[in-house]
A and B are shown apart, each in its own frame.
Chain A
Amino acid sequence: MRLPWKGLLVLGGCLVLWEILARQSGALAAYFPPASRVAATLIDIVKSGDLPPHIAASLRRFAEGYAIAAVLAVSVGLALGLWRGFYHLVEPLVELLRPMPSPATIPIAILFLGIGDEMKIAVTVYAGFWPILLNTIDGVRAIDPVLMNTAATFRLGPWQRFWKIVLPAASPQIVTGLRVSLAIALILVVTSEMVVSNDGLGFYILDRQRSFQISEMYAAIVALAMIGYALNRVFLAVDDWAMAWHKGLTRKEER
């Protein structure tokens, strides 16, 4: 693998600039601690066991919420994509709920579920649900009718048709939805922890800002960015592995 040295150079330059700017004056450093201090703080709070429980709490909420949203949205989406009548029944409801920004559900979730994990997971499920649902419906609808007719000609049963045609043909769009939801679910976990919580990364970041532990705040943001980056990487790796057949297929067609 070739090293992206230009990119690393720019990144290094940004970090050096950060360091120099922050060291200019003490007043500024209170708001904007130098990069080296943030890095040292990050190592400190991880080693002292201050940060890991918050990371674990956020990751657990994220994983539960995202998994539930994925299962729910893919199954409902497949049903809505396959049966037009069903879709027409719920279309106005979908059109009404879909454009509402998902954080607006936080207050209502607090009312019914309190301020614990259930509330945060419910909000995450709600937010993650929509992109997956809409992409799944689109994916099923866009299946080439020739595929379905061929399946009918070969007398494939409905079960086989579902597993061998519908699911594989719709999967690229489903993956797109899953990818969008990944980011949104993480946003909602952090947000719900900021609005009301006593643990989790969102809580930690906002709490350190409010108690003027600015280095800790930056360190936790860096940790969160690394988690977001890692989650995206893992998703892409799984996607590459699970959808390798699809990528091979489309590449051949292009030639």
Chain B
Amino acid sequence: MKHWSGFGVLLGIAVAWEIAGRFGFIHKLFFPPATKILTSFVTMVVSGEVLRHVGVSMWRAGLGYVLAAVIAIALGILMGYWRAAYESFEIVVELLRAVPPPAIIPVAIVFLGIGDQMKIFIILFSCAFPILVNTIDGVRGVDPVLIRTAQTFGLGQARLIWRVVIPAASPFIMTGLRIALAIALILVVISEMVGATSGIGYFILDAQRSFRIPQMYAGMLVLALLGYALNRGFLLADSWLMGWHRGAMERQR
């Protein structure tokens, strides 16, 4: 962190916020001073109230995301590798992908109720498409020379996919997984806003509706920190998993 000027700006905004909040420049009730928001943030964290909601949200988002990854990568390899599978399912995938995920929420409520299953299904549905589409692109883009070389060396179909196709397509798969991570967070918040009694999305909307305004802002701060942490975690995992790839690219240059 070499550029302190940015943190100065951030601090300036916080101070301006504090002043505007104290004197009610913007709105007496709706715009509380920054210190008040921070206090309720600390209170919420210490009392464990917010951690419970975050835990519930993370469980939903995590399970939906992992299921989506497993299904979409498997299907993506299938569709990317076998032309017939691609041609057969392309239209269905394109049509389903065009549905904005929140529109699926009412359908999921009809079938699964308003519990965890509904939210996990929504997250699974919305995360699957970016991963699927990127995996297909990645597998289709694998250099045919690689595949033919592997075949010359007598690799069987399963080992060919495991040792050649998946590693070669992995940068694309990772791109899909990163897009899906952001979407999982968005959809867990949305599904908790539309029908839930727990989770951080519910918490924020409930705080607004019952005019616990500092809590609402604090909940948003929690979400921002959570998103930041998840993104960092993903980048770490990415550089650990894909280190070999970056090394290979550098050597080529």
Contacts and interface: CB of A to CB of B under 8 A. Distances in A.
A11 B111 CA distance: 23
Interface stretch (A43-51, A89-97, A135-143, A239-247): A89-97
Interface in B216-236: 216-217, 219-220, 223-224, 226-228, 230-231
B98 A11 contact: no
B64 interface: no
Contact-residue size bin, chain B (C-beta under 8 Å from the other chain): 35 or more
Interface residues of A, number: 60
Interface string A214-225: 100110110011
Contact of B91 (A11, A112, A205): A11
A194 B100 contact: no
B92 interface: yes
B205 A8 contact: no
Contacts of A175: none
Given A4-B87, A205-B103, A232-B98, A99 B230 contact: yes
Contacts of A206: 105-106, 194
A34 interface: no
B207 A225 contact: no
Interface in B61-105: 84, 87-92, 94-96, 98-105
Contacts of A191: 102, 190, 193-194
Interface stretch (B5-13, B47-55, B151-159, B165-173): B5-13
B30 A112 contact: yes
B184 to A, nearest CB: 9
B28 interface: no
B109 interface: yes
Contacts, number: 166
A100 interface: yes
Interface stretch (A68-76, A102-110, A148-156, A159-167): A102-110
B120 interface: no
B3 interface: yes
Nearest to A214: B110
A238 interface: no
Contacts of A101: 182, 185-186, 188-189, 223, 227
A39 interface: no
B18 to A, nearest CB: 16
Contacts of A169: none
A103 to B, nearest CB: 5
Interface in B169-224: 179, 182, 185-186, 188-190, 193-194, 201, 204-205, 207-209, 213, 216-217, 219-220, 223-224
A103 B189 contact: yes
B107 interface: yes
A89 B102 contact: no
Summarize A's interface: helix, strand, loop or mixed. Answer: helix
B27 interface: yes
In the complex, which of the residues B6, B10, B27, B106 has the most CB atoms of chain A within 10 Å of its own CB atom? B106
Contacts of A97: 224
B6 A89 contact: yes
A20 interface: no
B85 to A, nearest CB: 9
A7 B197 CA distance: 42
Nearest to A11: B91
Nearest to B30: A111
B102 A194 contact: yes
A6 B88 contact: yes
A208 B109 CA distance: 12
B98 A226 contact: yes
Contact of B224 (A31, A100, A183, A229): A100
Given A91-B6, A190-B100, A100 B107 contact: no
Nearest to A107: B208
A225 B129 CA distance: 14
Given A88-B6, A92-B9, A228-B98, A4 B91 contact: yes
Contacts of B27: 111-112
Given A103-B201, A187-B190, A221-B107, 4 more contacts: A32-B111, A100-B223, A104-B220, A195-B205
Interface of B: 3, 5-7, 9-10, 13, 27, 30, 84, 87-92, 94-96, 98-107, 109-111, 179, 182, 185-186, 188-190, 193-194, 201, 204-205, 207-209, 213, 216-217, 219-220, 223-224, 226-228, 230-231
Closest 4 CB pairs of A and B: A99-B227, A107-B208, A209-B106, A229-B98
5 contacts: A88-B5, A95-B228, A100-B220, A214-B110, A224-B100
